């Protein structure tokens, strides 16, 4: 199977339990998803600088050590190489000010981490619908 046809997601979050949960829910709906996980924005930027293949989607937490999601988002959106890569915020914050700042920095979406598995399922289904299905069809 051609790896370019598989959704490739970069998951950036300092909580390893969230890494596990997000990957499990995605794999339930699309077992072909590949993930690379990072604990902060600095790790993400280093990996992107070295990447041969850009991710299909970046899921970015806001509150992380070393480099926050806002800092990483700001730096990524200054580089045209990443213009076509959707960056969606997945964070514990539900503040309107964080939503507004993410939108101002050109995040493609913003989700507050849910308190239930059913809500996480709905978020993953929406992410698949909005950001992964068209990419798969474009490469088919």
Which of 30-34, 97-101, 127-131 ranks highest by mean pLDDT? 97-101
Pure H helices in 30-116 = 41-50, 69-76, 96-104
Token digits of residue 39? 């604990």
Separation between Cα atoms, residue 114 and residue 109, nearest integer Å: 15
pLDDT surpassing 80 at residue 135: no
Q: What domains are there in the chain, each with its CATH number?
A: 3-134 (3.40.50.2300)
Q: Give me the mean pLDDT over the 32-51 stretch.
A: 94
Q: What are phi and psi of 14, to 5 degrees?
A: -85, 0
Which residues are paired to 91 by β-bridges? 112
Asked if 131 and 108 count as a contact pair (C-beta separation under 8 A), the reply is yes
Tokens linked to 19: 């890494």
Q: CA–CA distance from 33 to each of 30, 60, 93, 98, 112 (Å)?
A: 6, 17, 26, 28, 22
Is pLDDT above 50 for 97? yes
Average pLDDT of the residues in 114-122:
92
């Amino acid at each position: 199977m051609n790896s370019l046809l598989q959704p490739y997601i970069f998951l950036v979050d300092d909580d390893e339990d969230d890494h596990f949960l997000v990957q499990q829910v995605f794999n339930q709906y699309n077992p072909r998803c590949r993930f690379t996980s990072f604990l902060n924005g600095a790790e993400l930027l280093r990996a992107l600088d070295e990447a041969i293949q850009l991710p299909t989607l970046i899921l970015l937490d806001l509150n992380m050590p070393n480099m926050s999601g806002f800092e990483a988002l700001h730096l990524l959106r200054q580089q045209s190489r990443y213009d076509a890569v959707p960056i969606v915020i997945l964070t514990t914050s539900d503040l309107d000010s964080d939503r507004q700042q993410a939108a101002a920095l050109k995040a493609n979406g913003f989700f507050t981490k849910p308190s239930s598995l059913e809500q996480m399922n709905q978020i993953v289904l929406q992410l698949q619908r909005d950001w992964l299905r068209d990419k798969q069809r474009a490469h088919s």
